Amino acid sequence: MTHTVTAGLATIKDDLAAFYRDLHQHPELSLQETRTAGLLAGRLRDAGCDEVVEGVGGTGVVGVVRNGDGPVVMVRADIDALPVEERTGLPYASGVRGVDAQGRDVPVMHACGHDMHATCLIGAATLLAGAREQWSGTLLVVFQPAEELVRGARDMVEDGLFERFPKPAIVLGQHVGPLPAGFVGYGSGPVMAASDSLDVTLHGRGAHGSRPEASVDPVLMAAHVVTRLQGIVAREVPAAETAVVTVGRLQAGTKENIIPATAELGINIRTYTPEVRTQVRAAVERVVRAESQASAAVGEPTFQWLPSAPALVSDPDATATTVEAFAAHFGRDRLMPMPQVNASEDVGVFGEALGVPTVFWFWGGLDAQTVIGALQEGRLDALPSNHSPHFAPLVEPTLSTGVEALVVAALTWLGAPA
């Protein structure tokens, strides 16, 4: 049955490739995906969706294909781009600039493959809507904004996604990455880490750089915080667990001979279990408060916790069933078991909100021989990965593989034809 549906890909493949290149050339930052959303909505209407709604959770788009009695299956893709200057040299490379949430002029690039995700989902929705005789049930097609801010999924849920549209029995999603093009990677259980971020402000007392005794130096305070935070994972998290604490931003002062009054840190945490997540979050606050007190800070540190994503758990039973369907369609030689990925994804918010399983997999976008050669030579760091200015998936076979994977997974969970 899956090959019957995916056979239609040959007639739309060139059009999808052109659509992908257009999305790649016109990326939009998180919460600004208005052009992208409009194009996706138009494509869903052209595909024959029974209902298409824009503006869900900001710039999200939802399509519904109703096809009689049967399960409701949700397929999701993210659509936002990153403030990265593209250096791929492709003829359809982005030259777009935008204004970020802080009002800064920044370059914009689809450096994480969300343009490929969106195009593959359009292809899958088109094929499934055009082959209703092959399945029964309801297909819920979700294009999610602001994944890079780990808030888009929650925004859609809070905007009534599952009250306004049919409630799915399962959530399906995928991510392109630096694997060999044409291959599908999979994991079971926690496959991607939870992500928690916070902004911290340390409060000192400013003074002339020549009179440090008149100050409470927040720069020195921040330096001690940065160093001490590294002891959380090294000395508090059990060796059998995985966690990462990163200080990605440290800002203070305006001039070399002025001791400022405040210092700011941007901190990111990655964990896989709720217990370790709670432990590390509490430890970060404890360390910051203790170092502030030790430095005689003039006020308590300020904490602003930002939107977060839970660990992405690919339900073991549902994943096993889906992977068997992939094996039957692609052949086992095109499947690759994957280790846990410390990056994060907020697609898990959807399944968590309803208490239904999520199945999430990866598929390759780089030249297969290049990847295999890098593996054999132990130089994986030479491969362009997601968020790199050099990352851009091969159009084919990446596009076809991504479309087929979504079709196969959806048909695995939709009902049999009436």
Tens-place pLDDT, residues 207-218: 999 999 999 999
Structural domains in the chain? 2-193+311-413 (3.40.630.10), 194-305 (3.30.70.360)
Among candidate residues 349, 194, 189, 190, the one with its CA nearest the CA of residue 279: 194
pLDDT digits (tens, 9 = 90+) for 66-89: 999 999 999 999 999 999 999 999
Confidence check: pLDDT of 378 > 80:
no
pLDDT of residue 16: 98
pLDDT digits (tens, 9 = 90+) for 98-152: 999 889 999 999 999 999 999 999 999 999 999 999 999 999 999 999 999 999 9
Confidence check: pLDDT of 380 > 70:
no
> CA-CA distance, 77 to 118, in Å (whole number)?
5
Q: Give per-residue burial for 223-239: e unless 16+ CB within 10 Å, then b.
A: ebbbeebeebbeeebee
pLDDT of residue 143: 98
Average pLDDT over residues 223-231: 97
Q: How confident is the model at residue 46 (pLDDT cuts 50, 70, 90)?
A: very high
Residue 16, C-beta contacts closer than 8 angstroms, at least 6 positions apart: 119, 122, 123, 399, 403
The amino acid at residue 101 is: A
Confidence check: pLDDT of 206 > 80:
yes
> CA-CA distance, 242 to 173, in Å (whole number)?
24
> CA-CA distance, 372 to 23, in Å (whole number)?
29
For residue 92, count CB atoms less than 10 angstroms from its CB and return exposed for 0-12, middle for 13-18, buried for 19 or more: middle
Q: How confident is the model at residue 202 (pLDDT cuts 50, 70, 90)?
A: very high
* Whether the Cβ atoms of residue 346 and residue 194 lie closer than 8 Å to each other: no
> CA-CA distance, 204 to 218, in Å (whole number)?
5
* Whether the Cβ atoms of residue 80 and residue 145 lie closer than 8 Å to each other: yes
pLDDT digits (tens, 9 = 90+) for 2-38: 889 999 999 999 999 999 999 999 999 999 999 999 9
The angle that helices 398-413 and 114-129 make with each other, rounded to 10 degrees, is 50
> CA-CA distance, 410 to 76, in Å (whole number)?
11
Cα-based distances in Å from 128 to 297, 321, 343: 61, 20, 31
> CA-CA distance, 384 to 382, in Å (whole number)?
7
Average pLDDT over residues 390-410: 97
Confidence check: pLDDT of 164 > 80:
yes
Percentage of the chain beyond pLDDT 70 is 100
Confidence check: pLDDT of 366 > 90:
yes
Confidence check: pLDDT of 339 > 80:
yes
pLDDT of residue 190: 95
pLDDT of residue 24: 98
Nearest 5°: the CA angle 368, 372, 378 is 145
Query: What is the token pair recorded at 356?
Result: 């239904």
The amino acid at residue 117 is: H
E-strand spans in 253-308?
A: 258-259, 262-271, 302-305
68 dihedral zone (left: phi>0; alpha: psi -120 to 50; beta) = left
Supply the mean pLDDT for the chain: 96
- pTM for this prediction: 0.92
Average pLDDT over residues 389-417: 97
pLDDT of residue 379: 72
Confidence check: pLDDT of 377 > 90:
no
Decide: helix, strand or coil at residue 389. Answer: coil
Decide: helix, strand or coil at residue 365. Answer: strand
Q: How confident is the model at residue 381 (pLDDT cuts 50, 70, 90)?
A: confident
pLDDT of residue 371: 82
